Structure 1
């Protein structure tokens, strides 16, 4: 086999939820091979991800996915520089499959192991945009996904301070639950956005929870409840026999989406303004000030969110970078952040354990 490698390639593995992914990435960010195996059809009948099913699917797919990525890159495992894997946060069984595979390969090929924070990697996807600065940091980072809605002050790719996040449901979770109320197909967030594009976003006056709170936390459970009452009226629990017109569905989706996006944008604008003001000396490196927002996670693909953030950036005069849609959903390419940890000498031992759950504050 003729190697396309050299001393500057790493293997990135992602299995935090229901995507089994691997990528071979050069130090300069060039992707030489990648593969993603999705599980949508496995979870569709349940209207959401079933952890046990997800873990079993990862077990079946992890080696073929890695083989595909490595073969596309035309490289032998022994020629890789390091093995990287997301060890947090996520579903316990899913994480375990990826971490065990990474540790096994690191041992077999005698390569250093690098542990990745899945959320930090989502933000790093913005660094991979064509035309992005050589170093997109410092920045304010917004993670908005099915499991997380969080704001970070990012000094570097691997030095992040947690500013705040959801105190209940994540934005993407609220999208999926509203989709279930309306009997929309899985994955629900995409379907809500499709209908929202055809609806009246002022048809329902849904709450903008915590929008005026000066802190950086979010709350979407009350909004979800308001949507339920708008559909059924108070007290009804069963949606199965409820007939909802197509126009009502479109209007509910549009009004709901507007409420979520309004809160996300308002919180980002406030965080940017606060950290811009820290930049009084005009020396970003010394005082942590920044006038840049980076956005990642599955909900970052939402067109209304992207449009309203762009309008806010233009109005307020801050710089905006949003991960491209194909890097918003879970993938292994964003594991390129591992090169930053490699350069910093931040390696994991072979007794690396997982940190599952909806982690906050890191």
Structure 2
């Protein structure tokens, strides 16, 4: 089954052709990072206008790279939420129009669910001759039940996945998502946008400096004492406290003064967008390393606790923050003693892409699910959790 997927939930425009939900024939992404970098974050109006300019060329390029014609396509899928309403409308409208024009089934895909399926994408050369439309387990495929840690700019959730389409929410953020905290702290440190890669790069620099000074790498990660919100007895997260602590460290405040209101911290962040030029590079790198350590430690420990409680054999990472190498390392260290397998997508599939949209759509079609063409965008969409 050949599915054309379309992704336009935020500031990336994507189109991809996937065979049987796993095997990648083409994947094209038009990024807007350079455009939004000057603003320090995504500007919704600008994002939707860029989506309009990019969507048709991106779809055409995906078809050309796959070497397939429209009469070979079996279905079309597009993201309908969550995300920015203006951006979502572009991809959803084009997807529905193509489905209507070519008389093809249409599947609206939940963007968060698609991130989960990014874990099982493969190149077309990996397709066994016997696969056909069989979506039973193969090596590396989901071993249900499993725990999924979704970490992105807007979401931080621990989810128990019992089967395809069967989700139970175990915990979520009570304030900032992990990716949102990375972006805000990167602004405080003057590291630019997007914050996740910028903080990771600065943290790696700090570790390299420590190695050159013959000091333990862990010293870079713990150079500054930062709080961890463990919220014991729950699988929830909170990252506003560590963000506020970073703001006070940037001000040179004492350890006793890190309890300022979160709202006040948010208002002051813009004052420190040039901190990198004012502080020594080493100080900024050490702050970045300490912040990254504080965030990924909580994510990894809570994920391990969930894996233990629910006795799963597999944990999967999903979302843009899944690209963070420190998070992957921490999770591997936490899960290895349990014999739990950790799965995460290749870096290029951690961020938004259309291959994961087409993959998720395949499994909906296998269950006989499709959407009518009156489907509308749902910017605040969540996973369809068990009641």
By the TM > 0.5 criterion, same fold? yes
Q: What is the aligned residue count?
A: 341
Alpha-carbon distance, 1:77 to partner: 2.0
More deviation, 227-236/84-93:
227-236
Counterpart in 1 of 2:62? 69
Alpha-carbon distance, 1:82 to partner: 0.5
Alpha-carbon distance, 1:113 to partner: 0.7
Alpha-carbon distance, 1:360 to partner: 7.0
Query: Are residues 1:206 and 2:229 paired?
Result: no
Counterpart in 1 of 2:242? 223
Specify the SS of the correspondent of 1:85.
strand
1:346 to 361, 364, 369: 369
1:248-283 CA distance string (max 9 Å, x none) = 10111011000001110111011111111xxxxxxx
Counterpart in 2 of 1:9? 2
Counterpart in 2 of 1:322? 344
Alpha-carbon distance, 1:28 to partner: 5.5
Query: Are residues 1:110 and 2:99 paired?
Result: no
Query: Are residues 1:185 and 2:197 paired?
Result: no
Counterpart in 1 of 2:82? 89
Counterpart in 2 of 1:294? 316
Residues 183, 75 of structure 1: CA spacing in aligned structure 2 closer, same or farther, 3 A cutoff? same
Instruction: Between the two structures, name the one with larger relative contact order (CA 8 Å, sep ≥ 6).
Output: 2
| C-alpha separation in 1, matches of 2:73 and 2:384 | 33
Specify the SS of the correspondent of 1:61.
helix
1:239 to 255, 268, 272: 272
Give ranges in structure 1 of 5+ residues lacking alignment.
Answer: 1-7, 277-289
Contact kept in structure 2, 1:165 and 1:360, CA below 8 Å: no
Specify the SS of the correspondent of 2:181.
helix
1:50-101 CA distance string (max 9 Å, x none) = 1111000001101110111112122222321111111111111111111111
Specify the SS of the correspondent of 2:317.
strand
Alpha-carbon distance, 1:219 to partner: 0.8
Contact kept in structure 2, 1:265 and 1:312, CA below 8 Å: yes
Counterpart in 2 of 1:284? none
2:119 to 119, 126, 130: 126
1:143-181 CA distance string (max 9 Å, x none) = 111111111111123221222211111101111111101
Alpha-carbon distance, 1:333 to partner: 1.1
Contact kept in structure 2, 1:20 and 1:62, CA below 8 Å: yes
Query: Are residues 1:313 and 2:320 paired?
Result: no
Runs of 4+ in 1 over 6 A off after TM superposition: none
Specify the SS of the correspondent of 1:116.
strand
What TM-score does the superposition give when structure 1 sets the normalisation length?
0.90
Specify the SS of the correspondent of 1:46.
coil
Specify the SS of the correspondent of 2:154.
coil
CA RMSD of aligned residues (A): 1.8
Contact kept in structure 1, 2:190 and 2:274, CA below 8 Å: no
| C-alpha separation in 2, matches of 1:361 and 1:30 | 26
Residues 101, 267 of structure 1: CA spacing in aligned structure 2 closer, same or farther, 3 A cutoff? same
Contact kept in structure 2, 1:92 and 1:357, CA below 8 Å: no
Contact kept in structure 1, 2:167 and 2:384, CA below 8 Å: no
